[in-house]
Structure 1
Amino acid sequence: MLNEKLKKNKIIEIAKNLLKVRLKDTINKLLLILFGRKWKIIFINEYPKCGGTWLRYMLEEALLSKGYNTNKKEIKIIKEKHILQRHWLRYTKYAYRTIVIIRDPRDVYNSFYFHENYHNPNQKYKTIFGYDERKIDKENMYSYINSKLLYPELTTPGFSYKVFWDTFKVKKDILFIRYEDLKRDTVRELKKVFEYIGVDVDEDKINEAIKKYDFENMKKKQENADGRKNHVRKGVVGDWQNNFDENTIDLFKKYYNDTIIDMKYEDGEAWGKK
Protein backbone atom coordinates (compact mmCIF):
# COMPACT_ATOMS: atom_id res chain seq x y z
CA MET A 1 0.00 0.00 0.00
CA LEU A 2 2.81 2.36 0.90
CA ASN A 3 4.65 1.51 -2.32
CA GLU A 4 1.52 2.27 -4.35
CA LYS A 5 1.15 5.63 -2.60
CA LEU A 6 4.82 6.49 -3.22
CA LYS A 7 4.46 5.48 -6.86
CA LYS A 8 1.36 7.66 -7.23
CA ASN A 9 3.11 10.64 -5.62
CA LYS A 10 6.07 10.15 -7.95
CA ILE A 11 3.80 10.15 -11.00
CA ILE A 12 2.10 13.35 -9.79
CA GLU A 13 5.49 14.98 -9.22
CA ILE A 14 6.69 14.03 -12.72
CA ALA A 15 3.45 15.35 -14.26
CA LYS A 16 3.80 18.67 -12.42
CA ASN A 17 7.42 19.06 -13.53
CA LEU A 18 6.45 18.27 -17.11
CA LEU A 19 3.72 20.91 -17.04
CA LYS A 20 6.19 23.45 -15.63
CA VAL A 21 8.67 22.73 -18.42
CA ARG A 22 5.99 23.05 -21.11
CA LEU A 23 4.65 26.26 -19.60
CA LYS A 24 8.13 27.81 -19.44
CA ASP A 25 8.84 26.66 -23.00
CA THR A 26 5.65 28.34 -24.20
CA ILE A 27 6.49 31.58 -22.37
CA ASN A 28 10.04 31.53 -23.73
CA LYS A 29 8.83 31.04 -27.29
CA LEU A 30 6.55 34.06 -26.92
CA LEU A 31 9.32 36.19 -25.38
CA LEU A 32 11.72 35.11 -28.10
CA ILE A 33 9.26 36.18 -30.80
CA LEU A 34 8.64 39.56 -29.13
CA PHE A 35 12.07 40.48 -27.79
CA GLY A 36 14.65 38.02 -29.17
CA ARG A 37 16.59 40.57 -31.21
CA LYS A 38 16.11 43.53 -28.90
CA TRP A 39 17.31 41.50 -25.89
CA LYS A 40 20.23 40.05 -27.89
CA ILE A 41 19.18 36.47 -27.16
CA ILE A 42 21.78 33.90 -28.22
CA PHE A 43 20.02 30.69 -29.22
CA ILE A 44 21.97 27.40 -29.22
CA ASN A 45 19.78 24.93 -31.06
CA GLU A 46 20.58 21.25 -31.45
CA TYR A 47 19.25 17.77 -31.80
CA PRO A 48 19.86 16.11 -28.42
CA LYS A 49 23.31 14.60 -27.80
CA CYS A 50 25.09 16.96 -30.21
CA GLY A 51 27.10 18.80 -27.55
CA GLY A 52 24.87 21.83 -27.03
CA THR A 53 25.14 21.67 -23.24
CA TRP A 54 28.93 21.62 -23.40
CA LEU A 55 28.96 24.60 -25.77
CA ARG A 56 26.49 26.50 -23.59
CA TYR A 57 28.55 25.98 -20.45
CA MET A 58 31.67 27.33 -22.15
CA LEU A 59 29.83 30.35 -23.57
CA GLU A 60 28.28 31.05 -20.19
CA GLU A 61 31.68 31.06 -18.51
CA ALA A 62 33.43 33.13 -21.18
CA LEU A 63 30.60 35.69 -21.48
CA LEU A 64 29.87 36.10 -17.78
CA SER A 65 31.67 39.44 -17.61
CA LYS A 66 29.68 40.61 -20.66
CA GLY A 67 26.39 40.34 -18.77
CA TYR A 68 25.01 37.20 -20.40
CA ASN A 69 22.65 34.82 -18.59
CA THR A 70 21.96 31.15 -19.19
CA ASN A 71 19.57 28.28 -18.43
CA LYS A 72 21.74 26.69 -15.74
CA LYS A 73 20.29 23.28 -14.77
CA GLU A 74 16.62 24.12 -15.10
CA ILE A 75 14.74 25.95 -17.80
CA LYS A 76 14.37 29.58 -16.83
CA ILE A 77 12.27 32.38 -18.25
CA ILE A 78 14.57 34.21 -20.64
CA LYS A 79 15.57 37.82 -20.18
CA GLU A 80 17.94 40.30 -21.76
CA LYS A 81 21.26 38.82 -22.96
CA HIS A 82 20.15 35.26 -22.34
CA ILE A 83 21.86 32.16 -23.71
CA LEU A 84 19.00 29.82 -24.60
CA GLN A 85 19.62 26.17 -25.44
CA ARG A 86 16.76 24.08 -26.78
CA HIS A 87 15.80 21.35 -29.28
CA TRP A 88 13.31 23.19 -31.48
CA LEU A 89 12.39 23.08 -35.17
CA ARG A 90 11.16 26.68 -35.22
CA TYR A 91 11.65 30.12 -33.67
CA THR A 92 15.37 30.49 -34.47
CA LYS A 93 14.71 33.45 -36.78
CA TYR A 94 13.57 35.55 -33.81
CA ALA A 95 16.86 35.26 -31.92
CA TYR A 96 19.62 37.87 -32.12
CA ARG A 97 22.05 35.11 -33.09
CA THR A 98 21.42 31.40 -33.65
CA ILE A 99 24.06 28.70 -33.40
CA VAL A 100 23.12 25.22 -34.61
CA ILE A 101 25.49 22.52 -33.41
CA ILE A 102 25.54 19.28 -35.39
CA ARG A 103 27.18 15.89 -34.89
CA ASP A 104 27.60 12.64 -36.80
CA PRO A 105 24.13 10.99 -36.66
CA ARG A 106 25.71 7.62 -35.82
CA ASP A 107 27.33 9.05 -32.70
CA VAL A 108 24.14 10.93 -31.81
CA TYR A 109 22.00 7.79 -31.73
CA ASN A 110 24.79 5.80 -30.09
CA SER A 111 24.96 8.41 -27.30
CA PHE A 112 21.16 8.54 -27.09
CA TYR A 113 21.09 4.77 -26.49
CA PHE A 114 23.26 5.00 -23.39
CA HIS A 115 21.46 8.10 -22.13
CA GLU A 116 17.96 6.65 -22.40
CA ASN A 117 18.85 3.17 -21.16
CA TYR A 118 21.32 3.99 -18.40
CA HIS A 119 21.52 7.64 -17.35
CA ASN A 120 17.83 8.44 -17.61
CA PRO A 121 16.03 5.09 -17.99
CA ASN A 122 12.35 5.13 -18.86
CA GLN A 123 10.42 1.84 -18.79
CA LYS A 124 7.98 3.03 -21.45
CA TYR A 125 10.86 3.83 -23.78
CA LYS A 126 12.55 0.52 -23.00
CA THR A 127 9.35 -1.27 -23.99
CA ILE A 128 9.12 0.71 -27.24
CA PHE A 129 12.79 0.01 -28.00
CA GLY A 130 12.52 -3.70 -27.18
CA TYR A 131 15.33 -3.42 -24.64
CA ASP A 132 16.35 -6.81 -23.21
CA GLU A 133 18.50 -6.76 -20.06
CA ARG A 134 19.80 -10.24 -20.88
CA LYS A 135 21.47 -8.95 -24.04
CA ILE A 136 24.68 -6.98 -24.41
CA ASP A 137 24.55 -3.36 -25.61
CA LYS A 138 25.65 -4.21 -29.14
CA GLU A 139 22.66 -6.58 -29.48
CA ASN A 140 20.19 -4.12 -27.94
CA MET A 141 21.48 -1.29 -30.12
CA TYR A 142 19.80 -2.68 -33.24
CA SER A 143 16.27 -2.81 -31.78
CA TYR A 144 16.80 0.60 -30.14
CA ILE A 145 17.86 2.36 -33.33
CA ASN A 146 15.22 0.57 -35.39
CA SER A 147 12.47 1.86 -33.06
CA LYS A 148 14.04 5.32 -32.75
CA LEU A 149 14.22 5.77 -36.52
CA LEU A 150 10.79 4.28 -37.24
CA TYR A 151 8.87 6.06 -34.45
CA PRO A 152 10.69 9.32 -33.57
CA GLU A 153 7.44 10.99 -32.57
CA LEU A 154 7.08 8.57 -29.62
CA THR A 155 10.29 9.63 -27.88
CA THR A 156 12.42 12.70 -27.12
CA PRO A 157 12.48 15.18 -28.83
CA GLY A 158 9.45 14.11 -30.91
CA PHE A 159 11.14 14.26 -34.34
CA SER A 160 14.12 12.64 -36.05
CA TYR A 161 17.61 14.02 -36.52
CA LYS A 162 17.00 13.83 -40.28
CA VAL A 163 14.03 16.19 -39.94
CA PHE A 164 16.14 18.53 -37.80
CA TRP A 165 18.94 18.60 -40.38
CA ASP A 166 16.60 19.03 -43.36
CA THR A 167 14.91 21.94 -41.56
CA PHE A 168 18.05 23.91 -40.75
CA LYS A 169 20.47 23.12 -43.57
CA VAL A 170 18.64 25.61 -45.81
CA LYS A 171 18.38 28.38 -43.20
CA LYS A 172 20.36 31.57 -43.61
CA ASP A 173 22.01 33.76 -40.96
CA ILE A 174 22.78 30.73 -38.78
CA LEU A 175 26.22 29.67 -37.58
CA PHE A 176 26.76 25.92 -37.87
CA ILE A 177 29.28 24.36 -35.51
CA ARG A 178 30.34 20.74 -35.85
CA TYR A 179 30.78 18.88 -32.59
CA GLU A 180 33.81 17.12 -34.07
CA ASP A 181 35.47 20.47 -34.88
CA LEU A 182 34.66 21.75 -31.40
CA LYS A 183 36.40 18.70 -29.92
CA ARG A 184 39.36 18.96 -32.29
CA ASP A 185 40.09 22.69 -31.90
CA THR A 186 37.89 24.17 -29.19
CA VAL A 187 39.64 27.56 -29.12
CA ARG A 188 39.21 28.10 -32.85
CA GLU A 189 35.53 27.16 -32.83
CA LEU A 190 34.73 29.35 -29.80
CA LYS A 191 36.48 32.29 -31.47
CA LYS A 192 34.26 31.65 -34.49
CA VAL A 193 31.20 31.83 -32.22
CA PHE A 194 32.31 35.07 -30.54
CA GLU A 195 33.02 36.69 -33.89
CA TYR A 196 29.55 35.72 -35.08
CA ILE A 197 27.95 37.06 -31.89
CA GLY A 198 29.96 40.25 -32.16
CA VAL A 199 31.76 40.26 -28.80
CA ASP A 200 35.45 40.42 -27.99
CA VAL A 201 36.58 37.78 -25.53
CA ASP A 202 40.11 37.58 -24.17
CA GLU A 203 41.88 34.33 -25.09
CA ASP A 204 42.69 33.70 -21.43
CA LYS A 205 38.94 33.74 -20.69
CA ILE A 206 38.38 31.28 -23.52
CA ASN A 207 41.03 28.91 -22.20
CA GLU A 208 39.63 29.16 -18.65
CA ALA A 209 36.16 28.23 -19.93
CA ILE A 210 37.56 25.27 -21.88
CA LYS A 211 39.52 24.00 -18.90
CA LYS A 212 36.60 24.39 -16.50
CA TYR A 213 34.25 22.47 -18.77
CA ASP A 214 36.43 19.75 -20.21
CA PHE A 215 34.67 16.39 -20.14
CA GLU A 216 36.42 14.99 -17.08
CA ASN A 217 35.61 18.08 -15.00
CA MET A 218 31.99 18.03 -16.17
CA LYS A 219 31.67 14.37 -15.16
CA LYS A 220 33.03 15.10 -11.69
CA LYS A 221 30.71 18.08 -11.22
CA GLN A 222 27.66 16.07 -12.18
CA GLU A 223 28.60 13.14 -9.96
CA ASN A 224 29.07 15.48 -7.01
CA ALA A 225 25.81 17.28 -7.76
CA ASP A 226 23.37 14.39 -8.04
CA GLY A 227 25.19 11.08 -7.66
CA ARG A 228 23.51 9.69 -10.78
CA LYS A 229 25.11 8.17 -13.83
CA ASN A 230 26.54 10.84 -16.03
CA HIS A 231 24.61 12.91 -18.53
CA VAL A 232 28.15 13.51 -19.75
CA ARG A 233 29.34 10.08 -20.85
CA LYS A 234 32.38 9.92 -23.13
CA GLY A 235 31.99 12.50 -25.88
CA VAL A 236 34.25 10.38 -28.09
CA VAL A 237 34.16 11.03 -31.82
CA GLY A 238 33.38 7.81 -33.69
CA ASP A 239 32.27 5.80 -30.64
CA TRP A 240 29.47 4.27 -32.74
CA GLN A 241 32.11 1.95 -34.22
CA ASN A 242 32.41 0.24 -30.83
CA ASN A 243 28.68 -0.48 -30.56
CA PHE A 244 27.23 -0.98 -34.06
CA ASP A 245 27.25 -4.54 -35.39
CA GLU A 246 26.77 -5.34 -39.10
CA ASN A 247 22.97 -5.44 -38.79
CA THR A 248 22.87 -2.02 -37.11
CA ILE A 249 25.20 -0.57 -39.75
CA ASP A 250 22.97 -1.91 -42.56
CA LEU A 251 19.89 -0.52 -40.79
CA PHE A 252 21.47 2.90 -40.39
CA LYS A 253 22.54 2.96 -44.03
CA LYS A 254 18.97 2.17 -45.05
CA TYR A 255 17.50 5.17 -43.23
CA TYR A 256 20.37 7.64 -42.89
CA ASN A 257 23.03 7.11 -45.55
CA ASP A 258 21.82 10.05 -47.66
CA THR A 259 21.76 12.29 -44.58
CA ILE A 260 25.26 11.22 -43.52
CA ILE A 261 26.55 12.05 -47.01
CA ASP A 262 24.61 15.33 -47.10
CA MET A 263 26.17 16.31 -43.76
CA LYS A 264 29.59 15.38 -45.21
CA TYR A 265 30.40 12.68 -42.68
CA GLU A 266 30.81 10.13 -45.49
CA ASP A 267 31.07 10.31 -49.27
CA GLY A 268 29.45 6.97 -50.13
CA GLU A 269 28.10 3.66 -48.83
CA ALA A 270 31.38 1.89 -48.11
CA TRP A 271 31.61 2.97 -44.47
CA GLY A 272 31.44 0.33 -41.76
CA LYS A 273 33.01 -2.38 -43.90
CA LYS A 274 35.96 -4.23 -42.39
Structure 2
Amino acid sequence: MVDEPFLLLHGIQDRYNALYKDNIEVLDKADVPIASIGGSGQTYLGNLLIEAGANYADPYIERLGADGSSTPEPAYDEYRNHLSGALQKSMQLSYLSSPFTSVRFFKTHLEPAFFVDTSVEGVWLLIRDPRDSLYSWFNFRRNFAKDPLDLLAADFTEWLQRPGPTGKNRLDDWADFYTHWETMAQNLSSVAISRFEDLKLGPVDELMFGLSRFGIEVDRDRLTAAVQKSEFDNMASHERKNGGLSSARIMRKGQPYEWKTWMTPATQKLFSEHRITDVAYTFGYAV
Protein backbone atom coordinates (compact mmCIF):
# COMPACT_ATOMS: atom_id res chain seq x y z
CA MET A 1 0.00 0.00 0.00
CA VAL A 2 1.07 3.59 -0.55
CA ASP A 3 2.89 5.14 2.38
CA GLU A 4 0.19 6.72 4.57
CA PRO A 5 2.18 9.71 5.90
CA PHE A 6 2.94 10.81 2.33
CA LEU A 7 -0.74 10.76 1.42
CA LEU A 8 -1.86 12.39 4.65
CA LEU A 9 0.33 15.40 3.88
CA HIS A 10 -1.92 16.12 0.92
CA GLY A 11 -5.14 15.84 2.93
CA ILE A 12 -8.44 16.72 1.27
CA GLN A 13 -6.56 18.32 -1.56
CA ASP A 14 -5.77 14.98 -3.10
CA ARG A 15 -6.30 11.36 -2.08
CA TYR A 16 -6.41 10.74 1.64
CA ASN A 17 -6.98 12.35 5.01
CA ALA A 18 -7.44 11.26 8.60
CA LEU A 19 -11.22 11.45 8.30
CA TYR A 20 -11.19 9.17 5.27
CA LYS A 21 -9.03 6.70 7.17
CA ASP A 22 -11.65 6.57 9.95
CA ASN A 23 -14.47 6.20 7.44
CA ILE A 24 -12.91 3.15 5.83
CA GLU A 25 -13.35 1.35 9.15
CA VAL A 26 -17.18 1.49 8.96
CA LEU A 27 -17.62 0.30 5.36
CA ASP A 28 -19.63 -2.85 4.76
CA LYS A 29 -21.07 -4.78 1.81
CA ALA A 30 -23.78 -2.16 1.25
CA ASP A 31 -21.11 0.45 0.45
CA VAL A 32 -20.04 0.98 -3.15
CA PRO A 33 -17.02 3.11 -4.02
CA ILE A 34 -17.24 5.40 -7.02
CA ALA A 35 -13.60 5.24 -7.99
CA SER A 36 -11.93 7.83 -10.18
CA ILE A 37 -8.77 9.80 -10.67
CA GLY A 38 -9.25 13.50 -9.88
CA GLY A 39 -10.65 15.51 -12.78
CA SER A 40 -12.77 12.64 -14.10
CA GLY A 41 -16.21 14.05 -13.28
CA GLN A 42 -16.78 12.76 -9.75
CA THR A 43 -18.32 16.11 -8.76
CA TYR A 44 -20.79 15.82 -11.62
CA LEU A 45 -21.76 12.20 -10.97
CA GLY A 46 -22.02 12.82 -7.24
CA ASN A 47 -24.30 15.80 -7.80
CA LEU A 48 -26.48 13.75 -10.15
CA LEU A 49 -26.88 11.03 -7.54
CA ILE A 50 -27.66 13.47 -4.73
CA GLU A 51 -30.23 15.30 -6.85
CA ALA A 52 -31.80 11.96 -7.81
CA GLY A 53 -32.16 11.06 -4.14
CA ALA A 54 -29.51 8.36 -4.01
CA ASN A 55 -27.33 7.86 -0.95
CA TYR A 56 -24.02 9.38 -2.04
CA ALA A 57 -21.36 10.22 0.54
CA ASP A 58 -18.05 12.05 0.38
CA PRO A 59 -15.77 10.47 3.01
CA TYR A 60 -13.25 13.29 2.53
CA ILE A 61 -15.64 15.85 4.05
CA GLU A 62 -18.30 13.76 5.82
CA ARG A 63 -18.28 11.26 8.66
CA LEU A 64 -19.83 7.95 7.66
CA GLY A 65 -22.06 6.01 10.00
CA ALA A 66 -22.31 2.23 10.21
CA ASP A 67 -26.05 2.59 9.54
CA GLY A 68 -25.51 4.01 6.04
CA SER A 69 -25.72 7.64 7.11
CA SER A 70 -23.21 10.42 6.53
CA THR A 71 -22.83 13.60 8.54
CA PRO A 72 -21.03 16.75 7.34
CA GLU A 73 -17.82 17.64 9.15
CA PRO A 74 -17.89 21.40 9.95
CA ALA A 75 -14.17 21.73 9.23
CA TYR A 76 -14.94 21.30 5.54
CA ASP A 77 -17.91 23.67 5.29
CA GLU A 78 -16.02 26.14 3.10
CA TYR A 79 -15.18 23.46 0.56
CA ARG A 80 -18.71 22.03 0.68
CA ASN A 81 -20.24 25.42 -0.08
CA HIS A 82 -18.79 25.24 -3.58
CA LEU A 83 -20.90 22.18 -4.44
CA SER A 84 -24.65 22.57 -4.86
CA GLY A 85 -25.65 18.98 -4.10
CA ALA A 86 -23.25 18.63 -1.18
CA LEU A 87 -24.49 21.89 0.38
CA GLN A 88 -28.11 20.86 -0.07
CA LYS A 89 -27.37 17.51 1.51
CA SER A 90 -25.51 19.06 4.47
CA MET A 91 -28.59 21.08 5.39
CA GLN A 92 -30.26 17.78 6.32
CA LEU A 93 -27.62 17.40 9.07
CA SER A 94 -27.49 13.61 8.93
CA TYR A 95 -28.21 12.23 5.49
CA LEU A 96 -29.86 8.83 5.03
CA SER A 97 -31.58 8.74 1.67
CA SER A 98 -34.83 7.02 0.80
CA PRO A 99 -35.70 4.91 -1.17
CA PHE A 100 -32.08 4.05 -1.97
CA THR A 101 -30.96 2.98 1.50
CA SER A 102 -29.87 -0.44 0.29
CA VAL A 103 -26.70 1.07 -1.20
CA ARG A 104 -24.44 3.89 -0.05
CA PHE A 105 -22.24 5.14 -2.86
CA PHE A 106 -19.10 6.92 -1.76
CA LYS A 107 -16.40 8.94 -3.46
CA THR A 108 -12.84 7.70 -3.67
CA HIS A 109 -9.62 8.61 -5.42
CA LEU A 110 -7.83 5.76 -3.63
CA GLU A 111 -6.48 2.60 -5.18
CA PRO A 112 -8.26 -0.69 -4.35
CA ALA A 113 -5.49 -1.74 -1.96
CA PHE A 114 -7.13 0.52 0.64
CA PHE A 115 -10.32 -1.58 0.54
CA VAL A 116 -9.08 -5.16 0.40
CA ASP A 117 -9.70 -5.63 4.13
CA THR A 118 -13.23 -4.21 4.01
CA SER A 119 -16.53 -5.89 3.12
CA VAL A 120 -16.94 -3.86 -0.08
CA GLU A 121 -18.40 -6.10 -2.79
CA GLY A 122 -18.83 -3.71 -5.73
CA VAL A 123 -17.41 -0.69 -7.51
CA TRP A 124 -18.63 2.00 -9.87
CA LEU A 125 -15.61 2.95 -11.93
CA LEU A 126 -15.70 6.46 -13.41
CA ILE A 127 -13.22 7.13 -16.17
CA ARG A 128 -12.43 10.01 -18.51
CA ASP A 129 -10.05 10.45 -21.42
CA PRO A 130 -6.71 10.74 -19.57
CA ARG A 131 -5.77 13.84 -21.52
CA ASP A 132 -8.84 15.62 -20.17
CA SER A 133 -8.90 14.13 -16.68
CA LEU A 134 -5.25 14.93 -16.00
CA TYR A 135 -5.55 18.42 -17.45
CA SER A 136 -8.63 19.09 -15.32
CA TRP A 137 -6.87 17.70 -12.26
CA PHE A 138 -3.84 19.88 -13.02
CA ASN A 139 -6.03 22.98 -13.07
CA PHE A 140 -7.77 21.99 -9.85
CA ARG A 141 -4.49 21.35 -8.08
CA ARG A 142 -2.93 24.62 -9.25
CA ASN A 143 -5.90 26.99 -9.12
CA PHE A 144 -8.07 25.65 -6.31
CA ALA A 145 -6.01 23.43 -4.02
CA LYS A 146 -2.83 25.45 -4.63
CA ASP A 147 -0.60 22.69 -3.31
CA PRO A 148 3.04 23.91 -3.30
CA LEU A 149 4.19 20.63 -4.85
CA ASP A 150 1.98 21.25 -7.87
CA LEU A 151 2.93 24.91 -8.16
CA LEU A 152 6.56 23.88 -8.70
CA ALA A 153 5.75 22.72 -12.23
CA ALA A 154 6.16 25.38 -14.90
CA ASP A 155 3.34 23.97 -17.04
CA PHE A 156 1.10 20.97 -17.63
CA THR A 157 3.73 18.98 -19.50
CA GLU A 158 6.20 19.31 -16.64
CA TRP A 159 3.49 18.57 -14.08
CA LEU A 160 2.72 15.26 -15.80
CA GLN A 161 6.30 14.15 -15.25
CA ARG A 162 6.61 15.22 -11.63
CA PRO A 163 5.72 12.84 -8.76
CA GLY A 164 2.17 13.07 -7.45
CA PRO A 165 0.64 11.94 -4.14
CA THR A 166 1.63 8.30 -4.68
CA GLY A 167 5.25 9.15 -5.50
CA LYS A 168 4.74 8.22 -9.17
CA ASN A 169 4.42 10.66 -12.04
CA ARG A 170 0.87 11.47 -13.09
CA LEU A 171 0.89 9.28 -16.19
CA ASP A 172 1.97 6.20 -14.23
CA ASP A 173 -0.49 7.11 -11.50
CA TRP A 174 -3.44 7.24 -13.93
CA ALA A 175 -2.45 4.00 -15.65
CA ASP A 176 -1.91 2.10 -12.40
CA PHE A 177 -5.10 3.40 -10.81
CA TYR A 178 -7.40 2.09 -13.53
CA THR A 179 -5.40 -1.08 -14.11
CA HIS A 180 -5.61 -2.00 -10.45
CA TRP A 181 -9.31 -1.19 -10.13
CA GLU A 182 -10.13 -3.14 -13.28
CA THR A 183 -8.27 -6.12 -11.85
CA MET A 184 -10.06 -5.92 -8.52
CA ALA A 185 -13.43 -5.52 -10.28
CA GLN A 186 -13.06 -9.01 -11.71
CA ASN A 187 -13.49 -10.38 -8.19
CA LEU A 188 -16.41 -8.17 -7.12
CA SER A 189 -20.08 -9.12 -7.35
CA SER A 190 -21.39 -5.82 -8.78
CA VAL A 191 -19.52 -3.56 -11.17
CA ALA A 192 -20.44 -0.53 -13.27
CA ILE A 193 -18.11 1.38 -15.57
CA SER A 194 -19.09 4.84 -16.77
CA ARG A 195 -17.14 7.09 -19.07
CA PHE A 196 -17.43 10.81 -18.39
CA GLU A 197 -18.06 11.48 -22.06
CA ASP A 198 -21.04 9.09 -22.13
CA LEU A 199 -22.32 10.54 -18.87
CA LYS A 200 -22.31 14.04 -20.35
CA LEU A 201 -23.78 13.09 -23.73
CA GLY A 202 -26.45 10.68 -22.45
CA PRO A 203 -26.72 11.19 -18.69
CA VAL A 204 -30.12 9.64 -18.05
CA ASP A 205 -29.38 6.38 -19.85
CA GLU A 206 -25.91 6.17 -18.31
CA LEU A 207 -27.30 6.74 -14.82
CA MET A 208 -30.05 4.17 -15.29
CA PHE A 209 -27.53 1.60 -16.46
CA GLY A 210 -25.06 2.34 -13.66
CA LEU A 211 -27.69 2.18 -10.94
CA SER A 212 -29.17 -1.01 -12.38
CA ARG A 213 -25.84 -2.77 -11.86
CA PHE A 214 -26.48 -2.45 -8.13
CA GLY A 215 -30.12 -3.48 -8.26
CA ILE A 216 -31.50 0.07 -8.21
CA GLU A 217 -34.31 1.11 -10.54
CA VAL A 218 -35.12 4.80 -10.80
CA ASP A 219 -37.91 6.59 -12.62
CA ARG A 220 -36.62 8.27 -15.80
CA ASP A 221 -38.40 11.54 -14.97
CA ARG A 222 -36.63 11.67 -11.63
CA LEU A 223 -33.25 11.26 -13.30
CA THR A 224 -34.12 13.84 -15.96
CA ALA A 225 -34.84 16.38 -13.23
CA ALA A 226 -31.52 15.52 -11.54
CA VAL A 227 -29.69 16.06 -14.82
CA GLN A 228 -31.26 19.48 -15.28
CA LYS A 229 -30.24 20.56 -11.78
CA SER A 230 -26.71 19.27 -12.40
CA GLU A 231 -26.11 21.09 -15.67
CA PHE A 232 -22.77 22.86 -15.68
CA ASP A 233 -24.26 26.37 -15.80
CA ASN A 234 -26.43 25.65 -12.76
CA MET A 235 -23.58 24.18 -10.73
CA ALA A 236 -21.20 26.99 -11.75
CA SER A 237 -23.81 29.60 -10.85
CA HIS A 238 -24.22 28.03 -7.41
CA GLU A 239 -20.47 28.12 -6.87
CA ARG A 240 -20.22 31.78 -7.87
CA LYS A 241 -22.92 32.64 -5.32
CA ASN A 242 -21.76 30.40 -2.49
CA GLY A 243 -18.08 29.71 -3.07
CA GLY A 244 -16.77 32.65 -1.07
CA LEU A 245 -14.81 35.74 -2.04
CA SER A 246 -11.89 33.87 -3.58
CA SER A 247 -11.87 33.48 -7.35
CA ALA A 248 -10.76 29.83 -6.97
CA ARG A 249 -13.42 27.55 -8.40
CA ILE A 250 -14.00 23.81 -8.64
CA MET A 251 -16.34 24.08 -11.61
CA ARG A 252 -14.16 24.98 -14.59
CA LYS A 253 -15.61 23.82 -17.93
CA GLY A 254 -17.00 20.30 -17.65
CA GLN A 255 -16.59 19.56 -21.36
CA PRO A 256 -15.77 16.26 -23.05
CA TYR A 257 -12.87 16.26 -25.50
CA GLU A 258 -11.48 19.57 -24.26
CA TRP A 259 -7.98 18.28 -25.02
CA LYS A 260 -8.56 19.10 -28.69
CA THR A 261 -8.43 22.81 -27.83
CA TRP A 262 -5.11 22.89 -25.95
CA MET A 263 -3.02 19.84 -26.89
CA THR A 264 0.57 20.58 -27.93
CA PRO A 265 2.94 18.28 -29.87
CA ALA A 266 5.22 17.92 -26.84
CA THR A 267 2.38 16.90 -24.54
CA GLN A 268 0.85 14.54 -27.08
CA LYS A 269 4.26 12.88 -27.45
CA LEU A 270 4.35 12.23 -23.70
CA PHE A 271 0.97 10.51 -23.83
CA SER A 272 1.52 8.54 -27.03
CA GLU A 273 4.85 7.09 -25.87
CA HIS A 274 3.55 6.01 -22.46
CA ARG A 275 1.75 2.79 -21.48
CA ILE A 276 -1.22 4.98 -20.54
CA THR A 277 -2.31 4.58 -24.17
CA ASP A 278 -2.78 0.82 -23.71
CA VAL A 279 -4.79 1.23 -20.52
CA ALA A 280 -6.94 3.96 -22.04
CA TYR A 281 -7.60 1.80 -25.10
CA THR A 282 -9.23 -0.89 -22.95
CA PHE A 283 -11.85 1.71 -22.02
CA GLY A 284 -12.39 2.88 -25.59
CA TYR A 285 -9.97 5.81 -25.81
CA ALA A 286 -7.51 6.23 -28.67
CA VAL A 287 -4.87 8.42 -27.03
Q: TM-score if structure 2 supplies the norm length? A: 0.71
User: Do the aligned partners of residues 244 and 78 (structure 1) sit closer, same or farther apart at CA in structure 2, a change above 3 Å counting?
Assistant: farther
Shift of 1:183: 0.8
Could you say which residue in structure 2 is the equivalent of 1:261?
281
Q: 1:252 aligns with which of 271, 274, 277?
A: 271
For 2:136 and 2:225, the matched residues in 1 are separated by: 27
In structure 2, distance between residues paired with 1:206 and 1:116: 31
1:94 partner SS: coil
2:136 corresponds to which of 111, 135, 148: 111
Q: Partners in 2 of 1:240 and 1:58 — Cα distance?
A: 24
Structure 2 residue aligned with 1:230: 249
- Which is greater in Rg? 1
Could you tell me how far apart the structure 2 residues matched to 1:72 and 1:224 are?
25
Query: 1:189, 1:165 → 2: CA distance?
Result: 20
| Counterpart amino acid of residue 255 in structure 2 | V
Aligned letter for 1:89? E
CA separation in 2, counterparts of 1:203 and 1:88? 31
Which amino acid letter does the alignment assign opposite residue 146 of structure 1? Q
Computed over aligned residues only, the root mean square deviation of the Cα atoms, in angstroms, reads 2.9
Q: Comparing both chains, which one has the higher relative contact order based on Cα–Cα distances under 8 Å and sequence gaps of 6 or more?
A: 2
Whole-angstrom distance in 2 between the partners of 1:250 and 1:154: 22
- Determine the C-alpha separation between the residues in 1 that align with 2:262 and 2:218: 39
% identical equivalent positions: 20
Greater Cα offset, 187-196 or 166-175: 166-175
1:95 aligns with 2:95: no
What TM-score results when the alignment is normalised by the length of structure 1? 0.75
Q: Deviations over 1:170-225 (max 9, x none)?
A: 32232111111101100100110221121222222111111111111111112222
Q: What residue number does 2:157 align with?
A: 142
Could you tell which deviates more after superposition, 23-32 or 92-101?
92-101
The one of 31, 36, 39 equivalent to 1:41 is: 31
- Distance in 1, Cα, partners of 2:59 & 2:228: 18
- Which residue is 1:11 aligned to? none
Deviation at 1:48, TM superposition (A): 1.0
Shift of 1:86: 1.0
The number of residue pairs the alignment matches comes to: 232
Q: Counterpart of 1:182 in structure 2: which amino acid?
A: L
Structure 2, gaps ≥5 residues long: 1-7, 69-100
Instruction: Return the alpha-carbon distance in structure 1 between the equivalents of residues 59 and 182 of structure 2.
Output: 28
Alignment of 1:131-210 (within 5 A): 131=154, 140-147=155-162, 153-154=166-167, 160-170=173-183, 171-172=185-186, 173-210=190-227
**Unpaired runs of 5+ in structure 1?**
1-13, 132-139
Distance in 2, matches of 1:86 and 1:145, equals: 21
Q: Which residue number corresponds to residue 44 of structure 2?
A: 54
Change (3 A) 1:156 1:197: farther
Q: How far off is 1:72 after superposition?
A: 8.7
How much has 1:22 moved relative to structure 2? 2.6
Q: Counting helix residues as a fraction of each chain, which structure ranks higher?
A: 1
Deviations 1:233-252 (A, max 9, x none): 11111111222211111111
**1:120 and 2:145 are equivalent in the alignment:** yes
Shift of 1:59: 1.2
Partner of 2:19: 24
Paired residue secondary structure (1:58): helix
- Alpha-carbon contact 1:60-1:83 (below 8 Å) kept: no
Residue 96 (structure 1) shift: 5.1
